[in-house]
């Protein structure tokens, strides 16, 4: 690689790394603007800002979706709504550090589930990494001594499981294969917002979007716009830009640093003090998920070579629950994935 190419690669890496930092800080931002009584209202308001921009940006491709693709994306939107709800209620009831690290278990759960679906065996190194990650989460939730995990920790764990379901559903659903990623993301988010709006109208589910908006101060609006503009729109379009200029694997590797930034922001900005057990757990989660991701990719690539198939491509395809792209399924199963 020439010096010029290396410099160009670093210039592409910087905005992608900034996306990982933004995602890592999103837990703190969500925690700052959301209470248990305003979860649904905040979700409606956040995506009311995002959806019109996505619709305008992808209007022509959106109109090109078939009825089957719209139905498939709408169904995925219901799963996506579940992820958003679990994550947002979860972050309200746990620390930003715990939220960012526990949700990273998706990187372990997804290869495990995929191996079951595809009938392949993961290497022993992956299973060791998965065990390390699970041990890390157990220690992370016990920072002040051994006790039952908080409700927020359990909700974040549930969100990681449902995120895995969403990734696999997108990879396996025939109706959404070959559809434009931006259009699928728009339909999914639209479906999720309908769910939030309907739930917010049910008595006893908290403040309405209008009441929450009326009570917002300048800081609340700044936090909401940060989630909408930077954690969703900026992140999505940077990924679309970067993946056309560098390898999908490189983009995925940089985005995989998100848990590191989540922990750094939680500890440095909010003063999260997980205790020595929690710190050991945080390190184990970071090491385990990074090691597991590498081991799973190698094992999957080896299995595909043995069958003469193309290996998996990891690249941004669609927004994940906080507005980010998730890993792509294998190239022959490509489809948009959760935010």
Shortest CA distance to 83 belongs to which of 327, 321, 322?
Answer: 321
What confidence score (pLDDT) does residue 176 get? 85
3-class DSSP state for residue 325? strand
Burial of 247 (0-12, 13-18, 19+ CB in 10 A): middle
Please tell me the predicted confidence (pLDDT) of residue 328.
Answer: 41
Query: Cβ neighbours of residue 218 under 8 Å, at least 6 residues apart?
Result: none
Instruction: Render each residue's pLDDT in the chain as its tens digit; 339 residues.
Output: 566 655 666 677 888 889 989 999 999 999 999 999 999 999 999 999 999 999 999 999 999 999 999 999 999 999 999 999 999 999 999 988 888 888 888 878 888 888 888 888 878 888 888 888 888 887 877 665 555 678 999 999 999 999 999 988 888 888 888 788 889 889 999 999 999 999 999 999 999 999 999 999 999 999 999 999 999 889 888 887 887 777 666 776 677 778 888 888 888 888 777 778 888 888 888 888 778 777 776 766 666 666 554 444 333 344 454 545 444 433 333 333 334
Structure confidence at residue 301 (pLDDT): 67
Q: What's phi and psi for 93, nearest 5 deg? A: -110, 10
Q: How many other C-beta atoms lie within 10 A of the C-beta of residue 267? A: 18
3-state SS assignment for residue 312: strand
- The distance of Cα 226 from the centroid of its chain, to the nearest Å, equals 16
The confidence score (pLDDT) of residue 215 equals: 95
- pTM of the predicted protein model: 0.80
| pLDDT tens for each residue of 35-68 | 999 999 999 999 999 999 999 999 999 999 999 9
CA 70 to chain centre: 22
Record the tokens describing residue 54, joined without a space: 């996505």
* CB of 259 closer than 8 Å to CB of 104: yes
Please state, in angstroms and as integers, the Cα–Cα distance from residue 57 to each residue in 52, 228, 320, 335, following that order. Answer: 9, 15, 18, 19
Taken in order 304, 309, 310, 316, is the CA torsion positive or negative? Answer: negative
Q: What is the pLDDT of residue 148?
A: 65
Spatial separation of the C-alpha atoms in residues 87 and 146, rounded to whole Å: 24
* 263 neighbors 98 (Cβ within 8 angstroms): no
């Amino acid at each position: 690689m020439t010096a010029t190419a290396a410099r160009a690669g670093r210039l592409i890496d910087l905005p992608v790394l900034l996306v990982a930092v933004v995602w890592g800080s999103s837990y703190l931002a969500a925690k700052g603007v959301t209470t248990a009584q305003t979860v649904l209202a905040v979700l409606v308001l956040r995506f009311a800002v995002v959806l019109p921009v996505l619709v305008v940006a992808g209007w022509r491709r959106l109109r090109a979706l078939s009825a089957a693709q719209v139905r498939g994306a709408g169904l995925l939107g219901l799963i996506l709504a579940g992820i958003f709800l679990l994550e947002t209620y979860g972050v309200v009831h746990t620390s930003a550090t715990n939220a960012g690290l526990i949700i990273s278990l998706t990187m372990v759960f997804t290869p495990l589930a995929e191996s079951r679906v595809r009938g392949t065996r993961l290497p022993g190194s992956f299973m060791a990494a998965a065990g390390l990650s699970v041990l890390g989460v157990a220690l992370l939730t016990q920072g002040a001594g051994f006790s039952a995990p908080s409700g927020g920790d359990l909700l974040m764990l549930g969100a990681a499981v449902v995120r895995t379901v969403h990734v696999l559903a997108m990879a396996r659903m025939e109706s959404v294969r070959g559809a434009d990623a931006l259009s699928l993301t728009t339909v999914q988010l639209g479906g999720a917002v309908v769910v939030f709006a309907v739930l917010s109208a049910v008595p006893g589910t908290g403040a309405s979007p209008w009441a929450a908006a009326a009570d917002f101060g300048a800081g609340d609006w700044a936090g909401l716009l940060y989630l909408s503009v930077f954690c969703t729109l900026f992140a999505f379009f940077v990924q679309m830009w970067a993946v056309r200029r560098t390898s999908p694997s490189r983009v995925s590797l940089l985005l995989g640093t998100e848990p590191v930034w989540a922990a750094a922001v939680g500890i440095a900005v909010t003063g999260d003090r997980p205790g020595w057990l929690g710190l050991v757990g945080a390190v184990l989660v970071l090491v385990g998920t990074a090691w597991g991701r590498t081991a799973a990719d190698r094992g999957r690539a080896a299995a595909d070579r043995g069958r003469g198939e193309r290996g998996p491509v990891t690249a941004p395809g669609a927004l994940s629950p906080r507005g980010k792209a998730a890993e792509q399924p294998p190239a022959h199963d490509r489809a948009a994935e959760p935010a």
